[in-house]
Every structure is written in C-alpha cells, then in structure tokens.
Amino acid sequence: MKRLLIPALIALAAGCSDNNSNSNPRPDETTPPEPEPVVNAIFEVGVVNLTNGQPLSPIALALHDDSFAAFAVGAPASAGLELLAEGGDNSQLLEEVEGRVEASGEAPLGPGGEETFVLELDGDDVSDLHLSVVSMLVNTNDAFTALNGVDVSAMEVGDTWMVNAVAYDAGTEADSEAAGTIPGPADGGEGFNAARDDAADQVTMHSGVVTSDDGLPTSVLTQMHRFDNPVARFTVTRTQ
Amino acid sequence: MKKSLSILSLLSLCSLPAGAADIDIEITNLTHGSFFTPFLVAAHADNVSLFASGEPASASLQAMAEGGDISGLVADAEAVNATLVTDPAGGLLAPGQAASTSLNTDDAPDNTRLSIVAMILPSNDGFMGLNSVEIPSEPGRYMFSVNAYDAGTEGNDEILGGGAPGDPGFPAPPPVMATSGTGGTGVAADAEGFVHIHRGVLGDADPSGGVSDIDATVHRWLNPVVRVVVTVN
C-alpha cells in the first residue's frame, strides 16, 4: 500500500504546480494490472544405461534447493541412499529430498535402455534450483550412479546439456560379490541390510566389479557384469 | 578501419598480463581403497611439463611414481621458476579424503599452467597426473577429473617391496600394509618403457599367496581417481 501512496502524492504535487492540468485527471493507478498467466517450468531428463550387464534400479529424480545433497564423496551415505544403493529402493531417498518435484521410474532400466522423465515445477521460479538423479547398478553390492545436485537455475527454455556419469560406491556394504548379497538378476540375493561393513563408512567412486572370471572365485558375477566409466548418460533440457 | 584495429590490439595487449593468478585448489581422493603419497602442485610456464604420455619418464618422475619421492621433481620445477606447493595433505591422502591449498603467481605471470602429481598406493609405479592444464583467467570454480597413469619404469608385479627407483614391488606404509596381502608370486615382470594411462591393478583374493599382494576387491580403481577443484579468485 505504501508503494501506491507515494506515486499518488507525487501526482498531487505535480498537479499543484500546474493549474491548467486539472481538467485532465490522470488514469486511476490503483487498478491492479491484469495478472500474467504463470507458466510452469518443465525440465526433461533423459537417462541412458551405458553398461553391458548392469540394470539400473528405478531412476530417482528430484528438483530441489541447495540445502539437499544426495551424497558427498568422503561422507557417510544417508539411510535413504544406503537403501537405494544396496537394494534399489529409492522411496526413502525421495522422502529425504523434501524437494520441489520428485519422480521415479516404474521399473529398472536395462542395459542399453533409454528413458525420459518430465519434471514440472509448480510455477516458473527456478532460482536456487538443483537437479539430482540417482540409481543403483543392481548387479553389485552397493554401486550407484548419480547426478549430484547440478545447478539448473541458469537454464533458459530450450537449453540442453549432456553429461556422462560415473559409478560410485555407497561404502555401506563390502564389495564381496558373494552369493546372496546382490539383489540384481545375477544373484537374486539380499538387497538392503542395515549393517555397514565396508572398509570405510563413506561414499567413494566405485572400483568396478572383480567377478569370478577375473580373480575372485567366490563372486557370483561374471565378465559380462563388468563395467567401466561412464555408466550412464544424462541429458537435461528445459522445455518450458 | 586502421584506427579501430589498433585500438583492438591495444586492448588485447592490455589483457595479456592477466596470467597472474590467485587460486585455491582442492584435491579429493575419489578411490575406494587407494592412497596418494605427498602431492606436488606446480604452476609453470606452458613450454615445460612434468611428463608426457607416450614418452619415457624422467628420473625425477620415476622416483615420484615408484616411491612417492617428489624431491627430484621439486628441483626440476624450481629450475624453471615454477610456483610450487608440496605435500598439501601432510602425508598420505586416504580414500575419500581431500586436501586444500593455494597458489599465487603474481610474481611469476608466465606460470599459466597447472600440474599436480602423486603416486598411487598400492601400485608399482602408478600416479595421478593433472598435466599442464591452463589456469583459467575468469574468476570462478573449475572442476578437473584426473586419471591414473603408469610411469612405465617398473614391472607391475604387485608384490610388497621397496620404493627406491629400481627396487621391485611397492612400498607399503602402515595404512597401505593394513589392507595388503603377502606372498604373491608376481603379476607382470617387465617395465613398459613409456608413460601411459594405467591399465589398473589386478589384485587377487588371496591375502597370503596368489599372484598379487593387492586386494582385488579393495584396491582396484576406475578413472577418474582424483577430483581437482580450482577456484580462481
């Protein structure tokens, strides 16, 4: 209200200095302008599984502010990330985000597969907007790939970029590759287990799987499960 | 037309001495189970480098890559007026951990390139190498993913041994010893002869025998092995 009063006072003062202007009253400035229709910002995220033998667990995606990070190298994994990285269940991580938009794939994304997600904001405010995408390599103990809170606030409509993503190790489960410890189809074993028995309780990059064909006789994995970086490709486009 | 051209060239001359840099550097060990020996961080001129892929390693690079001794590289770099920081991690940099330091080249504006090297443990002659990247002049935060190289000076036998140039095997300070095995019969005997991207360590699953004293489930790596974040002030 104060803002409206000040121009009105100025108009009055101007009127005082010019006696002939009284017959031309100014238009009523207190009428609110027509509200412009709000266009929701939309981001499309394409995911390609670049591996030979590692299905990606249902992709978890979120747009959030910089108060959230899915993980940091050298820091312990959150409970939600542990659940995702050991068992492919992204539900708890998506709860931890408390973001502006969350989404999840409905099924694992197989090797060579491609999937596109549409993230629509409520409104067009993209300030302090960050994108995280996380998914488990399911034929491993606790490997995952991710986009970790990439700043998308400067993206204009039509902007697009692509990044190749590496494999991380959640550090919550030893990489034994033993029968019964891997939830993917190579084993059908246990997924999440609350015990944290890796060398150090911290996220690092993944060292790759050894497999029974390459020096680990007790591994249920074979050469076809081996992978190298990058393991996934993310393409992000702001479409609206 | 001539006038505007000369003005442009004057402008570009003015921007040339911006080689002077005030930068912060953060080095993160991304690996799951490998350590790095003391880092050498060097800003240097664009006509020198610490190593080149495909070329034989210098004796100083060999000493760094086989035993973590950077004194030879420090002397080489000082001889060409490089701006140096040594051992910003204060010893071994453990998996997942980070070290930070700063560099200022105001007194040496020709030092426009940044190189960082350190040996990977356990490995025979593996090292991380950020090789002569141009230091950005625009203030901001820049991330570099750094790969592992093999110095090519020692066969990758992967057995416990020494760190002096020519000594077989890899040196194992306590935190490396704690996760390494013994009694390996040896993987590869011959040095490769040239610097190249490391093929990775093989390791085995036998802590008291097998072919390797490296643990296959702990000490392998996939590139990149280090993240360097340069903040240009």
CB contact under 8 A, B223 and A229: yes
Q: Is the pLDDT reported for residue B59 higher than 70?
A: yes
What is the rounded distance in angstroms from the CA atom of residue A188 to the CA atom of residue A138?
A: 10
What digits encode the pLDDT tens for the residues B61-113?
999 999 999 999 999 999 999 999 999 999 999 999 999 999 999 999 999 99
CB contact under 8 A, A175 and B217: yes
Average pLDDT of the residues in A192-201: 94
CB contact under 8 A, B95 and A204: yes
Q: How far is A187 from chain B (nearest CA, A)?
A: 18
Task: Provide the pLDDT confidence category of residue A27 given band limits of 50, 70 and 90.
Answer: low
Residues of A within 8 A of B96 (CB-CB) are: 73-75, 171, 200, 202-204
Task: Provide the pLDDT confidence category of residue A25 given band limits of 50, 70 and 90.
Answer: low
What digits encode the pLDDT tens for the residues A39-80?
999 999 999 999 999 999 999 999 999 999 999 999 999 999
pLDDT value of residue A28:
61
Q: Euclidean distance between the first and final Cα of chain B, in Å?
A: 37
Close Cβ partners of A133 (under 8 Å, ≥ 6 residues apart): A45, A47, A59, A60, A61, A146, A147, A234
Q: How far is B65 from chain A (nearest CA, A)?
A: 21
pLDDT value of residue A33:
75
Residues of A within 8 A of B33 (CB-CB) are: 199, 204, 207
pLDDT value of residue A20:
46
Report if residue A13 sits inside a domain. no
What is the rounded distance in angstroms from the CA atom of residue B142 to the CA atom of residue B131?
A: 15
Instruction: Write out the E strands in chain B.
Output: 22-29, 35-36, 40-44, 83-86, 98-104, 113-121, 126-134, 140-146, 148-150, 196-197, 226-232
Q: Is residue B19 within 8 Å of B111, Cβ to Cβ?
A: yes
Q: Is the pLDDT reported for residue A10 higher than 90?
A: no
Residues of B within 8 A of A216 (CB-CB) are: 205, 216-217
In B193-225, which positions are buried (b, 16+ CB within 10 angstroms) versus exposed (e)? eebeebebbbbbbbeeebbbbbbbbbbbbbbbb
In B, minimum Cα distance to A73 occurs at B96
State how many domains chain A has: 1
What digits encode the pLDDT tens for the residues B150-209?
999 999 999 999 999 999 999 999 999 999 999 999 999 999 999 999 999 999 999 999
What digits encode the pLDDT tens for the residues A76-90?
999 999 999 999 999
Q: Is the pLDDT reported for residue A17 higher than 90?
A: no
What are the angstrom distances between the C-alpha of A100 and each of A65, B100, B121?
8, 34, 43
Residues of B within 8 A of A215 (CB-CB) are: 202-205, 216
Report if residue A114 sits inside a domain. yes
Task: Provide the pLDDT confidence category of residue A36 given band limits of 50, 70 and 90.
Answer: confident
Listed residue (A30, A4, A48) closest to A147, CA to CA: A48
Average pLDDT of the residues in B46-69: 98
Report if residue A159 sits inside a domain. yes
Report if residue A110 sits inside a domain. yes
Q: What is the residue whose two structure tokens read 């940044």?
A: B114
Q: Is the pLDDT reported for residue A159 higher than 90?
A: yes
Joined tokens for residue A1: 């209200």
- A74 CB within 8 Å of a chain B CB: yes
pLDDT value of residue B8:
43
Q: SS3 of B183, please?
A: coil
Report if residue A178 sits inside a domain. yes
Q: Which of A74, A203, A228 sits opposite B222 (nearest CB)?
A: A228
In A, minimum Cα distance to B227 occurs at A73
What strands lie across the sheet with B22-29, from one edge to the other? B98-104, B22-29, B226-232, B140-146
List the domain range (segments joined by +) for residue A190: 42-238
The mean of the pLDDT values for chain A is 90
CATH number at residue A97: 2.60.40
Q: Is the pLDDT reported for residue A21 higher than 70?
A: no
Instruction: For B22-232, give the CATH class.
Output: mainly beta
DSSP for chain A, written as a single string: -HHHHHHHHHHHHHHHH-GGGGGSPPP-TTSPPPPPPPPPPEEEEEEEE--SS-PBPS-EEEEE-TT--S--BTSPPPHHHHHHHHH---HHHHHHH--SEEEE-SS-B-TT-EEEEEEE-SSS--TT-EEEEEEEBTTSSSEEEEEEEEE-TTPPTT-EEEEEE-EEE-SSS----BTTS--STTT------S---SSSSSBEE------GGGT-TTBS--GGG---S--EEEEEEE--
Listed residue (B31, B39, B91) closest to B65, CA to CA: B39
What is the rounded distance in angstroms from the CA atom of residue A60 to the CA atom of residue A47?
A: 11
Residues of A within 8 A of B141 (CB-CB) are: none
CB contact under 8 A, A167 and B28: no
Phi, psi (deg, nearest 5) at residue A154: -95, 0
- A76 CB within 8 Å of a chain B CB: no
Q: Is the pLDDT reported for residue B16 higher than 50?
A: no
pLDDT value of residue B20:
82
Q: How far is B217 from chain A (nearest CA, A)?
A: 6
Give the number of beta-carbon pairs within 8 Å between A and B: 80
In A, minimum Cα distance to B32 occurs at A204
Q: Is the pLDDT reported for residue B49 higher than 80?
A: yes
Average pLDDT of the residues in B113-136: 98
pLDDT value of residue A29:
61
Joined tokens for residue B132: 């002569």
Report if residue A111 sits inside a domain. yes
Report if residue A204 sits inside a domain. yes
Report if residue A115 sits inside a domain. yes
Q: Is the pLDDT reported for residue A132 higher than 70?
A: yes
Q: Which of A199, A204, A215 sits opposite B203 (nearest CB)?
A: A215
In A, minimum Cα distance to B34 occurs at A207
